[in-house]
Amino acid sequence: MSLNFRHLHYFWVVAKEGSITRAAERLGLAVQTVSAQLSHLEKSIGKSLFKPQGRRLVLTEAGDLALRYADQIFLLGEQLQDALSTSDVDPVMRLTVGISDSLPKLIASRLLEATLTLPQRVRLVCYEEQFESLLGKLAVHKLDVMLTDRPVPPGSSLRVFSHLLVETETSLFGIPALAEKYMPGFPGSLSGAPLLLPTRNNAIRARIDYWLENHDLHPDLIGEFDDNALLHTFGRAGRGLFPAPSVLADDVLKQFGAVPVGPMSEVTEQIYAISNERKIKHPAIEAILKAMHKDVL
């Protein structure tokens, strides 16, 4: 059996769009054409790739497997096209990065800036998703590297490797009016203080909870946020104190108008790069590792 890649591409678009009609619109083809080509693909492989679910098409087990391979094939196709289109004029190194949604974006941007200092031009392609989703994409080589706040879980069957980049102290920040109120007597002043925290799926949350309990502090928890950007938006509006890496105090002031209230001793933020290689070889990722030795954070 020889695989028809045009038929595979039609399947890929249908899978992404969830319906043949929307896929046909995206491809600029008749619905009947897309439907017929999809049928040819299913006949050639001897398996059904979709099953109806209400008004949508959902993948069968075979379709899910086919989609994973199609994702890799067409991602490589995009990378090949990029490489060929620029190879004669201005070579571009592509770095596809997955950024865990729990990782502070100030840290991620600092790390990624290191790749832009290389002699060869780097094109960053960044995706922000949940840790588990990114880990799956890394395992099938959709990503070059993950930046995250936790290592790969012990006992994982995935052939991926965690590289600790940095461990940095955390402080509580607040707009000047809040900082002035709660700075005196810190950390004892935090009992009853309005607090904004990441949700419990964030690696640092357990350390913050332990620190509060260890100091017998009972703040007023105003909100818990899965999205760091939303947490910082509430912090900028003065709704409460919020945690951030101590070394980024200048950035926190510029972006959120907040100043340090006090350090949370023993609460550290750990930053990892996770890759498919035990020894990282991608030049852009090596630039990130070298930057860590120059105290980029």
Instruction: Give strand pairing partners of 151.
Output: none
Entry pTM: 0.62
CATH class of 167-269: alpha beta
Question: How many whole angstroms separate alpha carbon 81 and alpha carbon 78?
Answer: 5
Q: Is the pLDDT of residue 219 over 70?
A: yes
User: Which of 116-120, 144-148, 201-205 is predicted least confidently?
Assistant: 116-120
- 218 near 263, Cβ under 8 Å? no
pLDDT tens-digit profile of 256-296? 999 999 999 889 988 898 988 776 677 777 777 776 655 55
Could you confirm whether domain 89-166+272-293 is CATH 3.40.190.10? yes
Question: Looking at residue 242, what is its pLDDT?
Answer: 97
CATH number for the domain formed by residue range(s) 5-70:
1.10.10.10
Cα dist. 177→173, 182, 255 in Å? 11, 9, 17
Question: How many whole angstroms separate alpha carbon 164 and alpha carbon 162?
Answer: 6
Query: Mean pLDDT over residues 69-90, rounded?
Result: 67
pLDDT tens-digit profile of 171-199? 999 999 999 999 999 999 999 999 999 99
Question: How many whole angstroms separate alpha carbon 142 and alpha carbon 267?
Answer: 33
Cα atoms in the 13 Å half-sphere on the side-chain side of 202: 21
Question: Same CATH fold, 89-166+272-293 and 5-70?
Answer: no
Q: Is the pLDDT of residue 103 over 60?
A: yes
Query: Mean pLDDT over residues 159-175, rounded?
Result: 90
